[in-house]
Amino acid sequence: MLAAIVLFIAAALAQTHTFHFNATYVHGNPDGMATRRLIGINGQWPIPTIKVKKNDRVIIHYTNTLEDRNTSLHFHGLFQRGSPHMDGPEMVTQCPIPPGLTFTYNFEVPDQAGTYWYHSHSGAQYADGLRGMFIIEEDEPLSYHYDEEVLLSVSDYYHTESPIIMKQFLTRFNPTGAEPIPQNSLFNETKNATWTVQPNTTYLLRIVNMGLFTSQYLFIEDHDMVIVEADGVPIEPTTVDSIYLSVAQRYSVLIKTKESTNKNFRFVNVIDQEMLDLLPEELQVISTNWVVYDESKELPLPLKNGKNLFDKLVASLNPINEFDLTTADKVPLLPDPDYQIVLNFTMDQLGDGVTYAFFNNITYVAPKVPTLYSVYSSPDRTDARIYGSNTNTYMLQSDEVIEIVVNNMDPGKHPFHLHGHNFQIVAKSAEGDEENPTIYDPTNPEWNNFPEHPMVRDTVQVEANGFVVLRFKADNPGVWFFHCHVDWHLEQGLAITLVEAPESILHFDSCYAAGVPYVGNAAARHGPDGRWFDLSGENKQPAPLPEGFTLKGYFAMIVCTFVAIFGVISIYKYGMEDVNSEDVEATVHKLYKILRDHGVEVN
Ligand SMILES: *[C@@H]1O[C@H](CO)[C@@H](O)[C@H](O)[C@H]1NC(C)=O
Ligand SMILES: *[C@@H]1O[C@H](CO)[C@@H](O)[C@H](O)[C@H]1NC(C)=O
Ligand SMILES: *[C@@H]1O[C@H](CO)[C@@H](O)[C@H](O)[C@H]1NC(C)=O
Ligand SMILES: *[C@@H]1O[C@H](CO)[C@@H](O)[C@H](O)[C@H]1NC(C)=O
Ligand SMILES: *[C@@H]1O[C@H](CO)[C@@H](O)[C@H](O)[C@H]1NC(C)=O
Ligand SMILES: *[C@@H]1O[C@H](CO)[C@@H](O)[C@H](O)[C@H]1NC(C)=O
Ligand SMILES: *[C@@H]1O[C@H](CO)[C@@H](O)[C@H](O)[C@H]1NC(C)=O
Ligand SMILES: [Cu+2]
């Protein structure tokens, strides 16, 4: 009862946040080195932060006012429980939004809180700036205290627009598949930033890597960070001197400022240069920003760059391995899987000379119909075959425990992201040998000693030539993408599609069972060339009554017919047995009264 009341109150307090977002081009120079065209919202860049409370509803009327591009929005880390059609990736859960069109995203956030973000899921479009933070405030008391919440994003940054980069990347003239090298990194979408703090204050810093490619190290000189949240999951408080974030990962950290204001400190973000195939001289891998206690005091000089300086700096940091974190709620290890998906990941050229990425020899190619819409419209939606050979689709049954093993046979690091869920990281290997990658072997005692309380998050980095083993419960019907969040690799096909419990997704079951058409216009006609307007054979109302035939008269006729029939039956009965004739008379009078009440003249 109490639970019901609490739920009722929560529902009553839940707010609806409505946004009108136009995707628009703006010009910007966030790194102070080159002006370029960026994609903003309503003429502004950086794009707005969305901040809501748990249980709230979010409605975004999203209009594509870019004249030459399709677009979409994905809300990274949101489960979209009951609203899989709001997840955003084009050709997976929706069609691309063409120029001029408005698509309304409308969903609730009932079951999660923390640091999320939203970004375009059309090609590599978020590299052009269409990326922002999405914060869901917890509606219950937190287990930790802070005085002030501060948001922070880091990212890599390109001076060229993504469609142009894509053309140069996916060609036979790039036979090694070398990823585009960013020109810079950004800190809160700028550089050389200063963050003015109060002394003796505890800040909750919500940090997102909104970059497209490179992981980053982050640290404040002479200040500890206490990790309390990762990808929306409360984490057993863990003190570190630095953090390491792959693209799409988030951490919330507590930072206690010093009591004294006699000094300012460097706040440094560092691109993981090991991910880059080549290192341009001019690329600033190490970028300095500042924590300012006293504006009248000098800022320490920026840290210098250079190959050896990177190695030296990184060697001095101790960011925790994400596998060694644990959830604050001590989430227990899921039982042995009902279904295991082993994904061997390789990169190779195909006949067109382009380098593609493969899971088990299949490179993801988008279908002609968004996969979720195939679920909606096919009577055979539980059969993987309808989803095609190149969407790399796996069927998940309701409430199964799913295990995904990614064996990375590539010498790069890759952050894998699952839509619609977070997952337990039950095993994660260190970097392997390029000639002899470390393959997950469940019979190897070194690898099947899973933690009792594994780390949970929605994006995990698999190390070069290493593996990760992930588990989750298939408790969220939908079509969910699982892919590398380095969008260059996603564009190379590094994705699979999970079709989860399709029989429980809004669908046309009763139509199939009843043999009722579910596609077409009112006449069940559809197709090109105006056949949508062909209504021949539609269901229609009966022809009108003959002229002079009024509704009253029609009613009188029915009742009179009834009286006549009743009379015949009565006479028949009368003749058969000893019935009181008064009964018959009374009934006939009742019928006359009904007729009079309806204005029919009777004698
Ligand atoms: C940051 O500092 C560098 C080096 O001093 C300078 O070239 C660049 O323009 C600055 N960028 C911004 C956005 O302040
Ligand atoms: C979005 O663009 C349309 C026309 O393209 C304009 O009418 C509307 O006012 C714009 N909305 C906002 C919020 O800027
Ligand atoms: C937008 O999407 C449609 C449908 O997939 C496609 O035909 C068209 O080429 C896309 N436009 C751009 C500019 O990518
Ligand atoms: C980052 O930018 C946001 C808003 O643009 C601001 O509220 C926040 O304080 C900035 N973070 C830091 C660490 O400066
Ligand atoms: C810092 O805060 C603590 C309690 O939060 C207080 O006891 C202490 O006196 C403060 N120090 C200064 C210098 O304000
Ligand atoms: C993955 O690679 C390993 C090692 O080559 C092999 O034993 C295994 O069968 C492969 N799995 C799949 C699904 O291809
Ligand atoms: C993938 O292709 C390689 C080489 O062509 C082959 O050896 C391997 O068996 C294939 N694996 C699968 C799962 O088809
Ligand atoms: Cu990747």
pLDDT tens profile 363-398 = 999 999 999 999 998 888 999 999 999 999 999 999
The C-alpha angle 577, 579, 585, rounded to 5 degrees, equals: 140
Could you tell me if the CB of 69 is within 6 A of ligand 3? yes
pLDDT greater at residue 247 or residue 591: 247
For the chain, give the mean pLDDT: 91
Could you tell me if the CB of 22 is within 6 A of ligand 2? yes
| Residue 94: alpha-carbon gap to chain centroid | 12
Question: Atom 5 (ligand 5): residue with closest C-alpha?
Answer: 200
SS3 of 8, please? helix
Query: Which residue, among 73, 71, 43, 39, has the nearest Cα to 58 in the 3D structure?
Result: 73
Tell me which of 15-19, 160-164, 577-581 is least confident: 577-581
SS3 of 358, please? strand
Could you tell me if the CB of 192 is within 6 A of ligand 6? no
Average of pLDDT values for 74-82? 97
Tell me the pLDDT band of 1, cut-offs 50, 70 and 90.
very low
Could you tell me if the CB of 326 is within 6 A of ligand 2? no
The neighbour count for residue 139, using CB atoms within 10 Å, is 13
Q: Cα of 42 to ligand 2 centre, how many Å?
A: 7
pLDDT greater at residue 590 or residue 191: 191
Tell me the pLDDT band of 569, cut-offs 50, 70 and 90.
low
pLDDT greater at residue 562 or residue 353: 353
d(CA 336, CA 52): 36
Percent of the chain with pLDDT over 70: 89
Could you tell me if the CB of 407 is within 6 A of ligand 6? yes
pLDDT at 315: 96
pLDDT greater at residue 48 or residue 13: 48
d(CA 507, CA 382): 12
Question: Atom 11 (ligand 1): residue with closest C-alpha?
Answer: 32
Percent of the chain with pLDDT over 90: 78
Tell me which of 41-45, 75-79, 125-129, 543-547 is least confident: 543-547
pLDDT tens digit string along 166-189? 999 999 999 889 999 999 999 999
pLDDT at 400: 98
Q: Cα of 484 to ligand 7 centre, how many Å?
A: 21
pLDDT at 568: 59
Question: Atom 5 (ligand 7): residue with closest C-alpha?
Answer: 361
Q: Cα of 127 to ligand 2 centre, how many Å?
A: 24
Query: What would the two tokens of residue 222 be?
Result: 């002479």
167: CB partners within 8 A, 6+ apart: none
pLDDT at 573: 55
**Backbone phi, then psi, for 10, in 5-degree steps?**
-60, -45
Question: Atom 2 (ligand 4): residue with closest C-alpha?
Answer: 188
**Which ligand minimizes its atom distance to the CA of 287?**
1
pTM beyond 0.85: yes
Q: What CATH number labels 1-141?
A: 2.60.40.420
376: CB partners within 8 A, 6+ apart: 505, 506, 507, 508
Look at the domain 339-506 and name its fold: Immunoglobulin-like (2.60.40)
pLDDT higher than threshold 70 for residue 564 = no
Query: What would the two tokens of residue 228 be?
Result: 């309390």
Across the beta sheet with 265-271, what order do the strands follow?
194-196, 286-292, 265-271, 216-220, 243-245
d(CA 583, CA 603): 19
d(CA 461, CA 486): 11
Could you tell me if the CB of 360 is within 6 A of ligand 7? yes
Among the four given CATH numbers 1.10.1200.10, 3.55.40.20, 2.60.40.420, 1.10.357.10, the one describing domain 145-320: 2.60.40.420
Q: Which residues line ligand 4 (CB under 6 A)?
A: 150-152, 188, 193, 195
d(CA 384, CA 390): 11
pLDDT at 515: 79
Mutation test of ligand 7: which of 341, 356, 361, 409 has the most ligand atoms closer than 8 Å to its C-beta? 361
d(CA 550, CA 199): 89
Tell me which of 7-16, 208-217, 497-506 is least confident: 7-16
For residues 247 and 215, is the Cβ–Cβ distance under 8 A? yes
Q: Which atom, in ligand 3's list, is nearest to the CA of 123?
A: 14
**Which ligand minimizes its atom distance to the CA of 43?**
2
E strand segments, 138-261:
148-157, 184-187, 194-196, 202-209, 216-220, 225-230, 233-240, 243-245, 250-256
H helix and E strand count, the chain? 8, 30
